[in-house]
Amino acid sequence: MTKAGWRRWIGAVAIGLGAQCAQAGTVWSVNGHEYEVITSEGITWTNAQAAVTLIGGGWHLATITSAGEDGFVAGLLPASPASRSHYWLGASDAAVEGTFAWVTGEAWSYTNWWAGEPNNSGEEDFLAYDFRTGWGWNDAADNLGSTYGFARGYVIERTGSGSVPLPGTLALLAFGFGLGLGGVALRRPRRG
């Protein structure tokens, strides 16, 4: 694995552990699912997907299948974020351009695209909430966070509740890996 690949993997692990150690998410009473917004400046969709996979416990990038669910989840996001803020959701058209699919395999029936979206401007294969005059959907490039600085994090979801990790798990793992809490600021030792 290259040094850059190693750093991305460690970053995904740390972010996943940070999310895992969060207490139970906010439950939407209509479907009984839990949702959690994970703040992770500059994260790619690919790393968000890897991080949520490491979380386990039934969590996945959020899938939005109705206007009610969309309103509920968008209500969990910051009300007045920095301009052009994005939070990743669990859909992509990377397999077949123009055909978005949820990571869970659920039917793709509801959408909330901004006007003119999806437009695949610059290989945009991943779904994100995009703040303009409110929260709507945008297809975005995986490097949205690292190149443009728009990615603020991602939204995760699970059916029902699972086990909550033991208190202090993140702190012990972060200490063992030499990572900052939350895994957002990773430091590589400098050589002489």
Computed over every residue of the chain, the mean pLDDT equals 78
Rounded Cα distance between 192 and 150, Å, is 35
- Relative to beta strand 151-159, strand 33-39 is antiparallel
pLDDT tens figures, 62-74? 999 999 999 999 9
Rounded Cα distance between 1 and 188, Å, is 16
Backbone angles phi, psi at 83, to 5 degrees: -60, 150
Mean predicted confidence (pLDDT) in 48-57: 94
pLDDT tens figures, 100-157? 999 999 999 999 999 999 998 878 999 999 999 899 999 999 988 777 778 999 999 9
Q: Which residue has the tokens 């990038």?
A: 61
- Amino acid letter at 74? A
Please say if the pLDDT value at position 95 is more than 60.
yes
DSSP designation for 159: E
Name which of 37, 25, 48, 16 is nearest 164 in CA terms.
25
Cβ neighbours for 52, distance < 8 A, ≥ 6 positions apart: 16, 19, 59, 60, 61, 154, 156
Q: Which two tokens stand for residue 114?
A: 């901004």
Rounded Cα distance between 192 and 183, Å, is 25
Q: Delineate the domains of the chain, giving CATH numbers in brackets.
A: 25-183 (3.10.100.10)
C-alpha 136: how far from chain center: 15
Q: Is the peptide bond before 167 cis (omega within 30 degrees of 0)?
A: no
CA distances (Å), origin 5, targets 12, 114, 139: 11, 33, 25
Rounded Cα distance between 129 and 81, Å, is 12
Q: Which residue has the tokens 């290259």?
A: 2
pLDDT class for 181, splitting at 50, 70, 90?
A: very low
Q: Is 134 exposed, middle or buried (0-12, 13-18, 19+ CB in 10 A)?
A: exposed
Q: Which two tokens stand for residue 67?
A: 């206007």
